[in-house]
Amino acid sequence: MNDTSLKDDGRAGFSRRRFITGTGSLLGAAALAGPIPSAWATPRTAAAPIASGSRVPALVIGTGYGGCVAALRLAQAGTDVHMAEMGMAWDTPGSDGKIFANTTRPDDRSFWLRTRTKQPLSNFLGFPLDRNVNRYTGILDAEEFGGITVYQGRGVGGGSLVNGGMAVTPRRENFGAILPTVDAEEMYSTYYPRANSGLGVTTIDPAWFEEADCYQYARVGRKHAQRAGFPFLFVPAVYDWDYMKREAAGTVPRSALDGEILYGNNHGKKSLQKTYIDRIRATGRVTISPLHKVTTVTPAPGGGYTVLIDQLDTTGRTTATKTVTADKVFFAAGSVGTSKLLVGLKATGALPLLNDEVGRGWGDNGNVMCGRANHLWDPTGKLQASIPTGGIDNWDAGGAFAEVAPLPTGIETWASFYLSITKNPHRARFTWNAAAGRAELDWQTAWKQPSIDAAKTIFDRINRKEGTIYRSDLFGVHKIWGDHLTYHPLGGAVLDKATDNYGRLRGHPGLYVIDGALIPGNTSVNPFVTITALAERNIERIIATDL
Ligand code: FAE
């Protein structure tokens, strides 16, 4: 089954120039298409979204990894919890019968409140891929700051809805640099295993990997890595591999094999909806309000905190503002969401006792993307599973861990594509712009240079060995590096600085940070397992001592 797609799709003898012309016009046509009508079903909300005037023992802001761990463990310990989530529930199919849009056909569901898509791979063969859409509370937020676009999931399940599902535990020898004040022994013996089990992390059947057409791109990536002398590792993921085998056999609807990533996955991916949130619902102690955005948290006169929550419609308009009182509040709005809230709350005097560490220590996990142009005899396959399964580890020698990523376009591209996680020393800070009434981030695009240098320690060598070149058509015209973005925001309320060593915010008892904001900018690998494990560690302590 290996390396046959060149013959299978009848392209043998087909010149690269002709291929480029053909696919370019195809993708160009898609880019020129106008917005499609907004015909998606009204999102289902909680049976009873939170009522104004309610008092709750624990309010969790956000329903990503940190928020779900907090809600589950609090509920299991007997505490009633309410979760406020600014995104939609993502539990109702649209007019096409699917909950989530396809990667190659972004529609209104794909982006958070934009009128034009902002795809991470903006171009192909020089043609821009973005298209107009209707403004909608879609699933992927491309949040733009001065020097960087930060991609984040929006909806019940947070980043788990949109991410690639790579579930990687960092090498233990790297842990001291990731979370220096946390006991590594405890993490590796208790909390990483707990997180991996809660998330349903498993590794692909290696025998199937060797024969599956949909992983030809990964085998090509491995071959090139190994020929250049780099270690290639299988990485675990949160996908139902038996389902993927059935997708390949054609017996179930395709999901990973339909290239679904970025805008949701309709079937096989074990997002938080299928793991932690399933268990959260089973406790009977947790309610969730989608399309509810927390704007203010301030000490309540009689104890606890007064929380203001905007209820949104699917155009992003506020339809009601609710006032809720919570004994304890858990900030789990993601690194960016939590940081923005906290710097605003401190600056406006709502939470005046937060310390000066709030907003600091933000990093991009050293993310940088690139593509390589393979020879015509090295096709990567027109069928590419959207769940990556392998990476190239050059962390010790060159400061980069590169995931061999799919390019699920449905056509043969002869491209190898990589997301590198690199050692990047730069850390940015969120500050409050009072005149504009918003938080800003001082990251600079030029700060990606150390990441590019680290990634080049891998790809320059592979290119030399293979006699290949970088692709320069994926992020613009003649632009090699995807250095304008991150998928992995981390920090902004760093553990043992803005908070104590378990996430209790300094200055205001009863407030906690429990998401990626705690991690000071880098995890050396993809971050969600570490975010989950740290949340498991912290909530255990908080339940034992604070409740
Ligand atoms: P997160 O999951 O972002 O959840 C925060 C939630 O809070 C979101 O649902 C927000 O909508 C919500 N929220 C924000 N502000 C408010 C507010 N004011 N009021 C109410 N709700 C609010 O946070 N990581 C991996 O480990 N492996 C991968 O393969 C991987 N691939 C990725 C691919 C893409 C395209 C993206 C965007 C990310 C990827 N990540 C991956 C990163 C991962 O999803 C991310 O680190 C975690 O989701 C962060 O978890 P948190 O709990 O910090």
- The β-bridge relationship of strands 511-513 and 318-331 is parallel
Ligand 1 contact, 153 CB (< 6 A): yes
Tell me how far CA of residue 170 lies from CA of 28, 67, 229, 278, 393, in angstroms: 40, 22, 21, 27, 11
Report the relative pairing of strands 430-433 and 438-441 from DSSP bridges. Answer: antiparallel
- Tell me the mean pLDDT in the region 162-169: 98
Q: Is the pLDDT of residue 413 over 50?
A: yes
Which residues does residue 309 pair with via DSSP β-bridges, in sequence order? 294, 322
Chain-centre distance for alpha carbon 437: 27
Residue 232: pLDDT over 80? yes
Q: Which residue's entry shows tokens 């709350």?
A: 345
Whether the per-residue pLDDT at 87 is higher than 80: the answer is yes
Nearest to 402 by CA among 356, 337, 456, 321: 456
Torsion over CA of 450, 453, 455 and 456, rounded to 10 degrees?
A: 180
* Residue pair 384/408 in contact by the 8 Å Cβ criterion: yes
Helix (H) or strand (E) holding 403: strand 400-405
Return the residue whose CA atom lies nearest to atom 42 of ligand 1: 488
Provide the annotated active-site residues.
403, 488
Give this prediction's pTM.
0.94
pLDDT given at position 124: 87
| Spatial distance between the Cα atoms of 357 and 429, rounded to a whole number of angstroms | 9
Give 125's pLDDT tier (boundaries 50, 70, 90).
confident
With a pLDDT cut of 70, the percent of the chain lying above it is: 91
pLDDT at residue 4, as a whole number: 26
Name the pLDDT band for 175 (thresholds 50, 70, 90). Answer: very high
Query: Closest residue (by CA) to atom 11 of ligand 1?
Result: 154
Name the phi and psi angles at 220, rounded to 5: -65, -40
With 0-12 CB in 10 A as exposed, 13-18 as middle and 19+ as buried, what is 507? middle
DSSP structure string for 181-235: TS-HHHIIIIIHHHHHHHHT-B---HHHHHH-GGGHHHHHHHHHHHHTT--EEE-
CATH number, span 2-30+56-546 = 3.50.50.60
What torsion, rounded to 10 degrees, do the Cα atoms 201, 218, 482, 370 define?
150
Mean pLDDT computed over 194-211:
98
Report the pLDDT value the prediction gives residue 491, as an integer from 0 to 100.
Answer: 99
For residues 294 and 333, is the Cβ–Cβ distance under 8 A? yes
* In the predicted structure, residue 432 carries a pLDDT above the cut 60: yes
Which is more confident, 10 or 452? 452
Least confident of 48-52, 66-70, 238-242: 48-52
Q: What is the pLDDT of residue 81?
A: 98
pLDDT at 16: 32
List own/partner pairs for 467-471 with CB under 8 A and 24 or more apart.
Answer: 467/375, 468/372, 468/373, 468/374, 468/375, 469/372, 469/373, 470/370, 470/371, 470/372, 470/373, 471/370, 471/371, 471/372, 471/373, 471/415
Ligand 1 center to 151 CA (angstroms)? 8
Whether 25 shows a pLDDT value over 70: the answer reads no
pLDDT at 2 over 80: no
Amino acid at the residue 471? R
Computed over every residue of the chain, the mean pLDDT equals: 92
Which residues are paired to 128 by β-bridges?
123
For ligand 1, mutation pick of 45, 50, 121, 152 (most atoms within 8 Å of CB): 152
**493 touches 358 (CB < 8 A):** yes
84 Cβ inside 6 Å of ligand 1: yes
Residue 490: CB within 6 Å of ligand 1? no
Euclidean distance between CA atoms 140 and 135, whole angstroms: 12
8 versus 371: the higher-pLDDT residue is 371
pLDDT band at 26 (very low <50, low <70, confident <90, very high): very low
- Distance (Å, whole) CA 431 – CA 358: 9
Task: Scan for tokens 């937020």, then name that residue.
Answer: 141
- Cβ atoms within 10 A of the Cβ of 223, count? 15
Q: Which residues pair with 319 in a beta bridge?
A: none
State the distance from the centre of ligand 1 to the C-alpha of 159, rounded, in angstroms: 3
pLDDT of residue 45: 43
Residues 6+ apart with CB under 8 A from 389: 203, 204, 209, 215, 218, 234, 235, 237, 404
How do beta strands 286-289 and 368-373 pair?
A: unpaired
Could you state, in order of their start, the residue ranges of all structural domains in the chain? 2-30+56-546
Q: What average pLDDT does range 182-199 have in this prediction?
A: 98
Q: Which residues pair with 499 in a beta bridge?
A: 505
pLDDT higher than 90, residue 102: yes
Distance 87 CA to ligand 1 centre (A): 11
